[in-house]
């Protein structure tokens, strides 16, 4: 790749890591999208249609069509107020660190995106639900929101248009389950962060029983650029059917772990070899989780796949957050799977039996195997558990996500599991 492509999400960012303040953001064209919406007489449905036509899909992991989600929100004078917009910034997926970059470096981009999204769904109140450990992001977001209020970009009668939006920063108490949109809503209401059964769905019955849309940080940050430059431009940024650019990342024993804004559809190999620099000296590639901890492993045969929603689905995995966790030949795949399962078991809210009981059981089996006490029937038990965590068996996506690294590790690294059992030890220790 030449690198000659638009990078709307990161083009304003300073190389020294300092924040883009309001003045610098406006000098680079910031707050023109919301001005365009309000001053040209665009209607909420026109904004929604533009985003729908752009084929912007959620960047938080699920990949749901953003404009379509907005279209589910009831509108009109007879709808009980308020309508809420929630920005999900509770970024706790292991291996994922993309939203942090956007909030720390260019917080006004997120604020403007929330303003446009709020207008589209006719929201009265917005919340940025932020992971508690992101202290620098909290500091910079709070300052940026204060700047926006000081200049009357937030609050009552924005730009004299009659549009009003109150935007608040909420610091999460901190659990992975808060990343589930309905668990997040319960937490925001001051309740235990258990997920809710659906239907009803949040666009009709959400926060405090009112219409609510929950969107990921990166998703919302794409919105001003779509309004400024159009749906066709945004679709043209991607190499495949999925529109736009994407923040892709890589962690593990690669030469240059990091985060890059690249066209949607950039191949796995390009990200791994060109941007992450390939594997460190002395280690070889074995596999990777393409979109954070809750995705299925990909191996050598998948390296030329485009990183987009459809291609990875067909390969039996998911793009998820687009942030790879790379496995090398000097790291034990059983130990890695145990570590991830321990995380998911620890973060289960305990609301449904397949999740709280099954994850704990699987974690104990993997721990025993890693410590040299595995039994011949353990692999069948693990495979059975992954089926029990499948979609439709639990209230939310935590357990189905936890199943993905386990089921794919059993598929691609089966011999490693067998060695742990037959040799009564971890071969990597």
Name the DSSP class of 106: -
Question: Looking at residue 3, what is its pLDDT?
Answer: 53
4 confidence band (pLDDT: 50, 70, 90): low
Averaged over 178-200, what is the pLDDT? 92
Q: Would you say residue 411 has pLDDT above 70? A: yes
Averaged over 173-178, what is the pLDDT? 86
Report residue 150 CA to chain centroid gap. Answer: 31
Q: Produce one character per residue of 284-323: b if its CB has 16 or more CB atoms within 10 Å, e if not.
A: ebbbbbbbbbbbbbbeeebbebbbbbebbeeeebbbbbbb
Between the two ends of the chain, the Cα-to-Cα distance in Å is 39
Averaged over 39-55, what is the pLDDT? 95
CA nearest to 115, candidates 73, 147, 158, 74: 158
Q: In the chain, what are the domains?
A: 22-237 (3.40.50.11540), 245-328 (3.10.20.600), 333-423 (1.20.1440.230)
The pLDDT mean for the chain works out to 94
Averaged over 155-177, what is the pLDDT? 92
Q: What percent of the chain shows pLDDT beyond 70?
A: 99
Averaged over 99-120, what is the pLDDT? 98
Residue 341 CB partners (closer than 8 Å, separation 6+) = 359, 362, 363, 366, 402, 405, 406
Q: Would you say residue 174 has pLDDT above 90? A: no
pLDDT tens digit string along 363-374? 999 999 999 999
Distance, in Å, from the CA atom of 385 to the CA atom of 357, rounded to the nearest integer, reads 10
Averaged over 349-359, what is the pLDDT? 90
Q: Would you say residue 402 has pLDDT above 70? A: yes
333 confidence band (pLDDT: 50, 70, 90): very high
Question: Looking at residue 62, what is its pLDDT?
Answer: 83
Q: What are phi and psi of 267, to 5 degrees?
A: -75, 160
The C-alpha torsion from 82 through 224 and 133 to 139, rounded to 10°, is -90
Averaged over 319-347, what is the pLDDT? 96
In total, the chain counts a number of residues equal to: 429
Distance, in Å, from the CA atom of 266 to the CA atom of 303, rounded to the nearest integer, reads 11
Helix locations, 44-161, DSSP H: 44-53, 66-71, 98-105, 107-120, 135-150
CA nearest to 292, candidates 270, 273, 320: 320
Q: Would you say residue 244 has pLDDT above 50? A: yes
pLDDT tens digit string along 63-102? 899 999 999 999 877 887 899 999 999 999 999 999 999 9
**pTM assigned to the model:** 0.94
């Amino acid at each position: 790749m030449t690198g000659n492509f638009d990078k709307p999400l990161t083009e304003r960012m300073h190389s020294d890591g300092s924040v883009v303040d309001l003045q610098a953001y406006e000098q680079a064209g910031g707050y023109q999208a919301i001005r365009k919406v309000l001053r040209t007489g665009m209607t909420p449905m026109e904004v929604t249609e533009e985003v729908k036509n752009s084929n912007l899909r959620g960047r938080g992991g699920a990949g749901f069509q953003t404009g379509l989600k907005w279209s589910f929100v009831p509108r009109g004078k007879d709808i009980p107020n308020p309508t809420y917009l929630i920005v999900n910034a509770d970024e706790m997926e292991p291996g994922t660190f993309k939203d942090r970059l956007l909030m720390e470096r260019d917080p006004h981009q997120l604020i403007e995106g929330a303003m446009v999204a709020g207008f589209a769904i006719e929201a009265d109140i917005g919340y940025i639900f932020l992971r508690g450990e992101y202290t620098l992001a909290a500091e910079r977001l709070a300052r940026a929101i204060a700047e926006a209020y000081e200049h009357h970009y937030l609050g009552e009668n924005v730009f004299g248009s009659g549009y009003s939006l109150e935007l608040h920063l909420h610091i999460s108490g901190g659990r992975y389950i808060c990343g589930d949109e309905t668990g997040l809503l319960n937490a925001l209401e001051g309740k235990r962060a258990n997920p809710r059964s659906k239907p009803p769905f949040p666009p009709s019955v959400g926060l405090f029983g009112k219409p609510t849309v929950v969107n990921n940080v990166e998703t919302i940050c794409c919105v001003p650029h779509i309004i400024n430059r159009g749906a066709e431009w945004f679709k043209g940024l991607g190499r495949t059917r999925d529109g736009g650019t994407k923040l892709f990342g890589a962690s593990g024993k690669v030469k240059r772990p990091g985060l890059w804004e690249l066209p949607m559809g950039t191949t796995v190999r390009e990200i791994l070899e060109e941007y992450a620099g390939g594997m460190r000296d002395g280690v070889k590639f074995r596999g990777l989780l393409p979109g954070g901890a809750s995705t299925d492993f990909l191996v050598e045969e998948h390296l030329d796949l485009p990183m987009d929603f459809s291609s990875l689905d067909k390969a039996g995995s998911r793009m998820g957050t687009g942030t790879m966790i790379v496995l090398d030949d000097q790291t034990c795949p059983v130990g890695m799977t145990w570590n991830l399962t321990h995380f998911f078991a620890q973060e289960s809210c305990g609301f449904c039996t397949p999740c709280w009981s099954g994850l704990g059981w699987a974690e104990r089996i993997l721990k025993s195997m890693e410590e040299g006490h595995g039994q011949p029937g353990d692999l069948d038990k693990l495979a059975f558990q992954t089926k029990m965590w499948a979609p439709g068996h639990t209230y939310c996506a935590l357990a189905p996500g936890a199943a993905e690294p386990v089921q794919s590790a059993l598929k691609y690294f089966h011999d490693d599991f067998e060695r742990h059992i037959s040799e009564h030890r971890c071969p990597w220790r």
